[in-house]
Amino acid sequence: MTAAEDVRPGTDRLRAAVERRVPGRALERPFYTDPEFHALDIAAIFARQWLFVAPEAEIPEPGDYLTLEIGPYPLIVLRDADSTLRAFHNVCRHRGSRLLDAERGSARNLVCAYHRWTYGTDGRLRHAPSQPADADPGRLGLRPVHVRAVGGLLFVCLADEPAPGFDEIAARVEPYLLPHDLRHARVAARADLVEHGNWKLVMENNRECYHCDGHPELLRTFFPTYGHTEETLPPHLRPAHERYLRADAELRATYERLGLPYALIEELEARPVGFRIQRDALDLAGESFTPDGRAASRRTLGDLPTRRLGHLALHLQPSSWFHVVADHAITFSVRPLAPDRTLLRTTWLVHPEAVEGVDYDLDTLRAVWTATNEQDARFVARAQRGVSSPAYTPGPYAPTEYQVEAFCAWYIARLREVLG
């Protein structure tokens, strides 16, 4: 059954809403509230596109695994006995029991608790009690899912044929990520936050800084000229702009000396995975996302020789974004739970030998983005309540919301591919 067939009830109504979409304006109410649109999003986006699921540091050793759910699809991502990355549907091939319950762990074999069917970490069926003599174990292995690592970040694709073009994007992104050696980093903390809004509202909120005066902790590390151009810069921000230009020139010299790529690449509507990547200066001490801008850890990722690297920002359609500073990295992944509920998972990575309480303080490490996530969750909940009103009509985007428009245009293009 194709993704389009999965959502055939109401297809004409869904198609009509997609075709009515006006560029430069917000989406109509059903995109955020309708259960059939939620099902379409799962089928057209989350069951077809490459999705970030976790840092590779979550499964560093052979046998390590993690489990997750993407819509109705329970998955296992693991490192097999030969250290090869693998992913499977978390469904026993006997009678469909959930195979693993723990969110993460380590195992030599994957054993179903129901009837003890046992699979190797390569997915092959190794033992099935009381089966007929003509049963063929070779045809009863776990159903695989496409998985790959990009610069220490794990991605999966649920489609039988993975979305094309991802290799090219990975090749362009990896040179920015590899110097920070995220593959060998250590997970310092992770946090799950259920936001009371549609997943697209979560992503749209992330894709603009029109609302950033609601993030006082984050704004301390951003220059106050953020979002302005030379033409829109008010006179009172000229001194701050001069300070930014000096910091930018210093960082560009540092990037050149260390061989770090820093050019902005912005292809947010590219098929199949729009993306944006850039290095940029931070204000205050210019080292990290902390209340004073100083590094939160004494150890730098990848053992780079300076803490003053600004930040590396990576946005990937449809559901993830990342920030890397000299001393730590933060990953963000979004998963739809219901038309009006979304899971945001945030993970903080540090140098593999960094010791909590010695090299870094965990509260300092988490402070800025924990506050920012909670503030964003309140904004998203307000937006969900508003778009749920019959009185809601889509308003126009401001010029500073061009990334929101790019996300929505990318999203609509993917729906059209499925709906025809």
d(CA 101, CA 59): 16
Q: Are 79 and 61 in contact (CB under 8 A)?
A: yes
- At 92, the pLDDT band (50, 70, 90 cuts) reads very high
Rounded distance between C-alpha atoms, residue 123 and residue 65, angstroms? 13
Q: Please give the pLDDT value at position 9.
A: 53
pLDDT over 90 for what percent of the chain? 85
Cβ atoms of 179 and 359 within 8 Å: the answer is no
Neighbours of 167 (CB within 10 A): 11
pLDDT digits (tens, 9 = 90+) for 297-306: 999 999 999 9
pLDDT reported for residue 4: 35
Q: In sequence order, what are the residues at sequence separation of 6 or more whose Cβ sits closer than 8 angstroms to the Cβ of residue 119? A: 99, 109, 110, 111, 125, 126, 141, 142
Report the candidate in 411, 420, 417, 317 with the shortest Cα–Cα distance to residue 31: 411
Whole-structure pTM value: 0.94
User: How far is residue 38's CA from residue 174's CA, in Å, rounded to a whole number?
Assistant: 32
Residue 147 burial by CB count (10 A; 0-12/13-18/19+): exposed, middle or buried? Answer: buried
Q: What is the pLDDT of residue 3?
A: 37
Residue 7 pLDDT more than 60?
no
Angle at CA of residue 226, ends 224 and 232, nearest 5°: 95
CA–CA separation, 41 vs 18, rounded Å?
12
pLDDT in tens, 138-193: 889 999 999 999 999 999 999 999 988 899 999 999 999 999 999 999 999 999 99
Question: Residue 244: which residues within 8 A CB-CB, separation 6 or more?
Answer: 223, 225, 281, 283
Which residue type, as a one-letter code, is found at position 321? W
**What number of H helices and E strands is found in the chain?**
10, 17
**pLDDT at position 5, please?**
36
Statement: residue 215 has pLDDT above 90: yes
Is the distance from CB of 304 to CB of 316 less than 8 angstroms? Answer: no
Tokens (6 digits) for 186: 């250590």
Is the preceding omega at residue 261 within 30 degrees of 0, hence cis? Answer: no
DSSP class per residue in 263-278 = --EEETT-SS--EEEE
Tokens 């150890």 correspond to 299
Which amino acid is located at 397 in the chain? Y
Q: Find tokens 């985007």 and name the residue.
A: 397
Nearest to 24 by CA among 410, 381, 398: 398
Query: Which of 238, 263, 253 has the alpha carbon at shortest distance from 309?
Result: 253
pLDDT band at 420 (very low <50, low <70, confident <90, very high): confident
> Tokens representing 218?
């984050």
Q: Which residues contact 35 (CB under 8 A, 6 or more apart)?
A: 339
The interaxial angle of helices 199-206 and 362-387, nearest 10 deg, is: 120
Whether residue 380 is predicted with pLDDT greater than 80 in this model: the reply is yes
The strands making up 51-55's β-sheet, listed across from edge to edge, are: 51-55, 153-157, 146-150
